Amino acid sequence: MAAFGTVPGRPLQGRGGSPGFRFTVYALLSVVAMYLDQRQHYIDQVRYVLQAAAYPIQLAVNSPPAAWAWLRETFATRQALEAENRRLRASERELQLRSMRYEALERENGELRGLATAVPPVADRWLPAEIVSIQLSSLRQRLLVDRGALNGVFKGQAVLDEHGLIGQTTHVGPWSAEVILITDPEHAVPVRVERTGLRTIAVGAADTTSLALPYLPANADVQRGDLLVTSGLGGVFPEGYPVARVTEVHRDAVQPLAQVRAAPLARVDTDSEVMLVWFRPDHPAAPATPTAATPGGGSLGQLRQGNVAMQPQAAKPRPTTSAAEPSAPAAGSDAPARPASSGNSPPAAPPETAGPSDTSAANASPSDAPASGTPAPKGQP
Amino acid sequence: MSVDSRGRMLLAALVALVLTVLPLPAWLDPFRPAFLVLTVLFWSVYAPRTGGVAFGFFAGLALDVFQGPILGEHALALSLVSYLAVREHQRIRSKPAFQQALIVLPALVVYEFVLFAIDGWSGHPVTSPLRWVHTVTGALVWPPAAAILAYGAGRA
Q: What is the DSSP letter of B32?
A: -
Q: Which residues of A touch B146 (CB under 8 A)?
A: none
Reported as a pLDDT band with limits 50, 70 and 90, residue B155 is low
- B134 CA: distance to closest CA in chain A (Å): 12
**In the predicted structure, residue A314 carries a pLDDT above the cut 70:** no
CB contact under 8 A, A20 and B80: no
Quote the pLDDT of residue A90. Answer: 93
Query: What is the C-alpha separation between B40 and B57, in angstroms, rounded?
Result: 10
**A40-54, A285-299, B57-71, B99-113: range with lowest mean pLDDT:** A285-299
Query: What is the C-alpha separation between B88 and A334, in angstroms, rounded?
Result: 64
> How does the average pLDDT of chain B come out, rounded?
87
Q: Which residues of B touch A69 (CB under 8 A)?
A: none
The ipTM value here is 0.84
Quote the pLDDT of residue B156. Answer: 44
SS3 B36: helix
CB contact under 8 A, B23 and A23: no
- Give the Cβ contact number of residue A235 at 10 Å: 21
By CA distance, what is A170's nearest residue in B?
A: B69
Full 3-state SS string of chain A: CCCCCCCCCCCCCCCCCCHHHHHHHHHHHHHHHHHHHHHHCCCHHHHHHHHHHHHHHHHHHHHHHHHHHHHHHHCCCHHHHHHHHHHHHHHHHHHHHHHHHHHHHHHHHHHHCCCCCCCCCCEEEEEEEEEEEEEECCCCEEEEECCCHHHCCCCCCEEECCCCEEEEEEEECCCCEEEEECCCCCCEEEEEECCCCCEEEEEECCCCCCEEECCCECCCCCCCCCEEEECCHHHCCCCCCEEEEEEEEECCCCCCECEEEEEECCCCCCCCEEEEEEECCCCCCCCCCHHHHHHHCHHHHHHHHHHHHHHHHHHCHHHHHHHHCCCHHHHHHHCCHHHHHHCCCCCCHHHHHHHHHHHHHHHHHHHHHHHHHCHHHHHCC
Mean pLDDT to the nearest integer, A93-107: 83
**In the predicted structure, residue A8 carries a pLDDT above the cut 50:** no
Q: Looking at the partner chain, which of A60, A185, A303 has a beta carbon nearest the beta carbon of B126?
A: A185
Quote the pLDDT of residue A114. Answer: 66
Q: Which fold has domain B3-152?
A: Arp2/3 complex 21 kDa subunit ARPC3 (1.10.1760)
Residue A221: CB partners within 8 Å, gap ≥ 6?
A193, A196, A198
CB contact under 8 A, B131 and A139: yes
Please list, residue by residue across B4-42, b when 16 or more beta carbons sit within 10 angstroms of its beta carbon and e when fewer do.
ebeebbeebbebbbebbbeeeebeebbebbbbbbbbbbb
Reported as a pLDDT band with limits 50, 70 and 90, residue B77 is very high
CB contact under 8 A, B128 and A54: no
Please list, residue by residue across A325-362, b when 16 or more beta carbons sit within 10 angstroms of its beta carbon and e when fewer do.
ebbbebbeebeeeeeebbebeeeeebbebbbeebeebb
Q: Which residues of A touch B152 (CB under 8 A)?
A: none
Mean pLDDT to the nearest integer, A225-241: 86
Quote the pLDDT of residue A316. Answer: 39
Domain limits, chain A: 19-75, 123-315
Instruction: Give Cα separations from B128 to A130, A138, A186, A260 (angstroms).
Output: 31, 9, 12, 19
Encode pLDDT of A10-54 as tens digits. 455 455 568 888 888 899 999 988 888 877 667 777 788 888 888
- Give the Cβ contact number of residue B71 at 10 Å: 23
Encode pLDDT of A56-86 as tens digits. 888 888 788 778 878 887 887 788 888 989 9
CA angle A346, A187, A209 (to 5 degrees): 95
Query: What is the C-alpha separation between B4 and A9, in angstroms, rounded?
Result: 21
Contact status of B33 with chain A (Cβ, < 8 Å): no
**In the predicted structure, residue A348 carries a pLDDT above the cut 70:** no
Cross-strand pairs, A276: A127, A159
The residue ranking higher by pLDDT, A306 or A91, is A91
Which residue type, as a one-letter code, is found at position B111?
A: Y
Reported as a pLDDT band with limits 50, 70 and 90, residue B141 is very high
Looking at the domain that runs over A123-315, which CATH code has it been given?
A: 2.40.10.340
Encode pLDDT of A150-189 as tens digits. 988 988 899 988 888 999 998 888 888 989 999 888 889 9
By CA distance, what is A56's nearest residue in B?
A: B18
CB contact under 8 A, B57 and A134: no
Query: What is the C-alpha separation between A21 and A235, in angstroms, rounded?
Result: 46
Quote the pLDDT of residue B105. Answer: 94
Query: What is the C-alpha separation between A85 and B16, in angstroms, rounded?
Result: 43
By CA distance, what is B154's nearest residue in A?
A: A4
Size of interface A-B (CB pairs under 8 A): 144
Reported as a pLDDT band with limits 50, 70 and 90, residue B3 is low
Q: Which residues of B touch A142 (CB under 8 A)?
A: 67
CB contact under 8 A, B65 and A54: yes
Angle between helices B35-46 and B97-121 (to 10 degrees): 120
Cross-strand pairs, A261: A212, A248
- Percent of chain A exceeding pLDDT 90 equals 13
Quote the pLDDT of residue B40. Answer: 93
**In the predicted structure, residue A255 carries a pLDDT above the cut 80:** yes
Encode pLDDT of B5-41 as tens digits. 888 889 999 999 988 888 777 778 888 999 999 999 9
> How does the average pLDDT of chain A come out, rounded?
71
Contact status of B73 with chain A (Cβ, < 8 Å): yes
Domain limits, chain B: 3-152
CB B131 within 8 A of CB A139: yes
Residue B65 zone, left/alpha/beta (φ > 0; ψ -120 to 50; rest) = alpha
Q: Which residues of B touch A5 (CB under 8 A)?
A: 1, 5, 46-51
Mean pLDDT to the nearest integer, A115-138: 74
- Percent of chain B exceeding pLDDT 90 equals 40
